[in-house]
């Protein structure tokens, strides 16, 4: 019988992958139980990914954008720093999950309460968040079982654009010399996503709503 | 006749209607006559009001009232349409025109300003007149342009006052009663800009105080009068840090205060309101509060807005419902022999509508009606004017030809063309069923076209009703809203009213 870590290491999911919450997968990799995945995901960890966006429907297309993202996982927090924006997901003792969107250009943090996420029809799967997200809708995944994260992940968007995530580096804990999510936003203004309806004029609201729509939110009947 | 060998052509085998109301034929006439007799017994009650209670359902348009009335009835096992929300039994009603000085369809700031001060105002501004420049941060300009509110009038007359909301206490509707500021978003100092129109703003000498600070630093007469302030918005009263260390929220330890000035306004409430002042932030403290010994109560039950009523039971620290806060407020305020002014807002009807989520909005409305019922049952119509209204409406619609008793959250099923035929979902031009409830715009738009809802639980709590125009957030709408009233001077609520006339009714009732 293989150990949990061996099975994790060997798990390669090729199911479709949807970057539902901005690079977050939605399905337990094949051969990995929820409990095993959850146990591995509890270890505090930071990981850097190179994100390459390729125009055209195959890898020979031209690179139109390249970014470096920082994924940071703790027992009650999963966060991704994506350059100009961040997503910080938190889970409390009652299991309620909240989100903060950090918008650096607007120096604003948008708070999504558990109730607001539910009201928007968003169901959050914590164990999927801990593994960088959902595997639904992906073009391919190579799985790093020790980290319980994808080593390489490819998504085809609208049948035309490839987005590839390559794991560059990982470190346990919270590396002091990394630009981790949440570290730059202490002095930012805060907005409650419940208030968006009265604030369509606000650039931060427009930016956050745009990100929500990109993630498939604010469109009915989506689940994450 | 039978002896003549004639027969009357009666379809003795006619099928019974599948859909039936509960009423007998005689009931319609009887109910109409009862209404007329009740109307004849009405006479203007011109005595001064000792107390005034202003209930505002934020975003509670008439379609919301109708749908909530039906849902409340259906939840009680009835067909629903014949049901009446508590305030629909009040003797007087009118329509309220909700435009503001510069908006055809308004936000909550000028609409509540209209009700609170008697003046229509500008988008996003709270209880300052319409000559106030947008983004004006000068304290002196905001002060010069300030409009006195009904709460401030009541305080000056020696009455007790109270504010209850399920939104943040610093949110536009409750804030319009105590704050005078050109921009509704300046709820904490951290939300104010460093510069506004080139003039120093946040924390500047001569800069207007943020809304939370204005609540704590109200005039001495309002400070004495304001006995109850309950709602959400804790973070706007808490410092971001104490001595350089993040000041953690008691319920959500990863959350922290929003005050850049380092002030703890909750502590300041306690120190400036005397020995009888109290502060509560969870259900247990709320339940344990002794209203007889408490003189000034501050309740802040969430960092931001309170939970939706539909989600309240899941809150970790627990928090009271709107009707429970209304009850506690009345226990506090009824100690004052001179009377009181109380404002109660159901702030989250609006939020659920913005999210395109009708069920949460309707559950909020039903709880709002419960709070009104408590007030109706625990006040005397001889001395207490109760007004129930909304600040604005939403693009929420009740559409199709659903049959009597059809699930208000369900698919439209018309009365069958033939009696005895089974009910079946009505179909659109493409053969797809559709729901009774929907929105003109909002997140419920289906970008890929109308879905087949045949097997979808449209009555589920998280279901988003369909919307015609894709928008990230559903919007307000500009049609009139209703006003309901009972008590002294309630008869002045009549016909088609400008929204700001509600203030004049309240002031006249008080006799100011």
| Digit-coded pLDDT (tens) for B167-185 | 999 999 999 999 999 999 9
Mean pLDDT of B300-321: 94
pLDDT at A89: 95
CB of B73 less than 8 A from some CB of A: no
pLDDT tens by residue, A68-109: 999 999 989 999 999 899 999 999 888 889 999 999 999 999
Contact A199 B311 (CB under 8 A): no
Contact A218 B190 (CB under 8 A): no
Structure tokens that stand for B192 in this block: 């104010």
Range of the domain at B126: 47-395+475-510
Nearest C-alpha in A relative to B473: A197
List the beta bridge partners of residue B498. B97
CA pair distance B353, B171, nearest whole angstrom: 17
Other beta carbons within 10 angstroms of residue B429's beta carbon come to: 6
B453: in domain: no
pLDDT at B196: 87
Mutate to test the interface with A, among B351, B396, B454 (most CBs of A within 10 A): B351
pLDDT at B475: 96
B35: in domain: no
Contact A94 B445 (CB under 8 A): no
Topology classification of domain A4-171+189-214 = outer membrane lipoprotein receptor (LolB), chain A (2.50.20)
CA pair distance B106, B123, nearest whole angstrom: 7
CB of B304 less than 8 A from some CB of A: yes
Q: Name every residue whose Cβ is closer than 8 Å to that of residue B263 and which is 6 or more positions away in sequence.
A: B213, B239
B449: in domain: no
Structure tokens that stand for A105 in this block: 């250009």
Smallest CA-to-CA distance from B206 within B143, B122, B265, B269 is with: B143
Contact A119 B191 (CB under 8 A): no
Mutate to test the interface with B, among A99, A185, A198, A214 (most CBs of B within 10 A): A198
B429: in domain: no
Contact A219 B445 (CB under 8 A): yes
CA pair distance B474, B480, nearest whole angstrom: 18
> How far from A131 is each of A26, A46, A144, B3, B368, CA to CA, in Å?
9, 12, 10, 90, 42
Which ipTM value was assigned to this complex? 0.84
Q: Report the domain count for chain B.
A: 1
| Longest alpha-carbon distance in chain A | 59
pLDDT at A188: 86
B3: in domain: no
Mutate to test the interface with A, among B304, B437, B439, B468 (most CBs of A within 10 A): B304
pLDDT at A140: 86
Q: How many A×B Cβ pairs under 8 Å?
A: 107
Q: Identify residues of A whose CB sits under 8 angstroms from chain B CBs.
A: 76-77, 90, 92-94, 96, 111, 113-116, 118-121, 123, 186-187, 189-190, 192, 194-200, 202, 209-210, 212-213, 217-221
% residues pLDDT > 70 (chain B): 97
Report DSSP state, residue B232. E
B404: in domain: no
- Look-up: residue for tokens 């979902």? B425
Partners of A94 on chain B (C-beta within 8 Å) are: 314, 316
What is the 3-state secondary structure of B160-190? EEEEEEEEECCCHHHHCCCCCECCCCCCCHH
Q: What is the CATH number of the domain that holds B241?
A: 3.40.720.10
Contact B355 A77 (CB under 8 A): no
List the beta bridge partners of residue A171. A46
DSSP states of B196-256: ETTEE-TT-TTBPPPHHHHHHT--HHHHHHEEEEEEE-GGGGSBSEETTEE-B-SS-TT-B
CA pair distance B459, B462, nearest whole angstrom: 8
Mean pLDDT of B87-92: 98
Starting at the edge strand that comes first in sequence, how are the strands of the sheet with B51-57 ordered? B277-280, B296-300, B226-232, B160-168, B340-346, B51-57, B384-390, B481-486, B92-97, B496-498
Do the Cβ atoms of A156 and A165 come closer than 8 Å? no
Contact B472 A212 (CB under 8 A): yes
CA pair distance B44, A67, nearest whole angstrom: 72
CA pair distance A124, A103, nearest whole angstrom: 21
List the catalytic residues of B. Answer: 108
pLDDT tens by residue, B364-405: 999 999 999 999 999 999 999 999 999 999 999 999 999 999
Strands B226-232 and B296-300, sheet pairing: parallel
pLDDT at B248: 85
- Look-up: residue for tokens 């002014």? B341
Measured in degrees and rounded to the nearest 5, phi and psi for residue B132 equal -70, 130
List the beta bridge partners of residue B322. none
Q: What confidence category does residue B311 fall into, taking pLDDT thresholds of 50, 70 and 90?
A: very high
Report DSSP state, residue B49. P
pTM of the entire predicted model:
0.89
Q: How high is the mean pLDDT of chain A? A: 76
């Amino acid at each position: 019988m293989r150990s949990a870590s061996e099975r994790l290491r060997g798990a390669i999911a090729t199911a479709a992958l949807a970057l539902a919450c901005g690079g977050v997968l939605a399905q337990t990799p094949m051969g990995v139980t929820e409990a095993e995945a959850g146990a591995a995901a509890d270890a505090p960890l930071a990981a850097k990914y190179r994100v390459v966006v390729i125009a055209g429907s195959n890898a020979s297309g031209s690179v139109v954008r390249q970014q470096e993202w920082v994924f940071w996982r703790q027992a009650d927090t999963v966060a991704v720093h994506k350059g100009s924006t961040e997503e910080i997901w938190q889970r409390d003792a009652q299991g309620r999950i909240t989100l903060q969107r950090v918008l650096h250009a607007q120096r604003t943090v948008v708070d999504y309460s558990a109730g607001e996420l539910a009201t928007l029809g968003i169901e959050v799967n914590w164990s999927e968040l801990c593994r960088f997200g959902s595997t639904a809708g992906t073009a391919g995944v190579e799985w790093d079982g020790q980290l319980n994260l994808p080593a390489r992940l490819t998504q085809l968007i609208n049948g035309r654009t490839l987005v590839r995530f390559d794991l560059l580096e990982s470190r346990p804990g919270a590396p002091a010399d990394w630009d981790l999510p949440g570290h730059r936003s202490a002095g930012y203004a805060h907005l409650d996503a419940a208030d968006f309806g009265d604030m369509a004029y606000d650039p931060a609201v427009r930016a956050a709503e745009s990100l929500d729509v990109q993630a498939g939110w604010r469109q009915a009947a989506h689940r994450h | 006749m039978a002896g003549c060998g004639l027969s009357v052509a009666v379809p003795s085998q006619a099928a019974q209607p599948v859909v039936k109301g509960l009423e007998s034929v005689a009931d319609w006439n009887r109910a109409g006559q009862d209404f007329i007799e009740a109307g004849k017994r009405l006479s203007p009650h011109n005595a001064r009001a000792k107390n005034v209670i202003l209930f505002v359902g934020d975003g509670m348009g008439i379609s919301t009232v109708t749908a909530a009335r039906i849902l409340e009835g259906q939840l009680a096992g009835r067909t629903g349409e014949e049901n009446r929300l508590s305030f629909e039994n009040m003797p007087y009603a009118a329509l309220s025109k909700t435009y503001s000085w510069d908006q055809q369809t308004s936000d909550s700031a000028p609409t509540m300003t209209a009700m609170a001060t008697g003046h229509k105002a500008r988008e996003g501004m709270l209880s300052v007149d319409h000559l106030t420049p947008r983004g004006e941060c000068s304290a002196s300009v905001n002060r010069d342009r300030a409009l006195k509110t009904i709460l401030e009038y009541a305080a000056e007359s020696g009455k007790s006052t109270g504010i209850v909301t399920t939104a943040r206490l610093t949110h536009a509707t409750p804030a319009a009663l105590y704050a005078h500021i050109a921009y509704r978003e300046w709820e904490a100092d951290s939300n104010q800009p460093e510069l506004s129109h080139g003039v120093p703003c946040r924390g500047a000498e001569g800069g207007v105080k943020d809304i939370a600070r204005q609540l704590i630093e109200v005039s001495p007469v309002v400070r004495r009068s304001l006995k109850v302030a309950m709602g959400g918005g804790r973070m706007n009263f808490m410092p971001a840090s104490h001595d350089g260390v993040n000041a953690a929220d008691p319920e959500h330890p990863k959350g922290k205060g929003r005050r850049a000035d380092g002030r703890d306004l909750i502590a300041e409430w306690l120190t400036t309101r005397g020995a009888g002042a109290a502060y509560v932030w969870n259900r247990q403290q709320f339940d344990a509060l002794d209203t007889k010994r408490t003189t000034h109560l501050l309740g802040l039950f969430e960092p931001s807005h309170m939970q939706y009523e539909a989600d309240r039971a899941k809150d970790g620290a627990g928090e009271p419902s709107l009707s429970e806060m209304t009850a506690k407020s009345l226990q506090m305020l009824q100690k004052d022999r001179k009377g009181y002014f109380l404002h109660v807002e159901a702030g989250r009807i609006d939020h659920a509508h913005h999210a395109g989520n009708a069920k949460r909005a309707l559950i909020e409305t039903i709880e709002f009606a419960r709070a009104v019922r408590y007030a109706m049952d625990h006040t005397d119509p001889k001395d207490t004017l109760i007004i129930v209204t909304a600040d604005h409406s939403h693009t929420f619609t009740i559409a199709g030809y659903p049959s009597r008793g059809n699930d208000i959250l369900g698919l439209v099923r018309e009365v069958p063309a033939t009696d005895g035929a089974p009910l079946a979902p009505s179909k659109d031009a493409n053969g797809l069923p559709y729901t009774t409830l929907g929105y003109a715009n909002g997140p419920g738009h289906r970008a890929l076209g109308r879905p087949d809802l045949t097997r979808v639980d449209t009555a589920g709590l998280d279901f988003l009703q369909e919307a015609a125009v894709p928008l990230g957030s559903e919007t307000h709408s500009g049609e009139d809203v209703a006003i309901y009233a009972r008590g002294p001077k309630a008869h002045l609520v009549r016909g088609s009213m400008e929204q700001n006339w509600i203030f004049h009714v309240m002031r006249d009732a008080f006799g100011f």
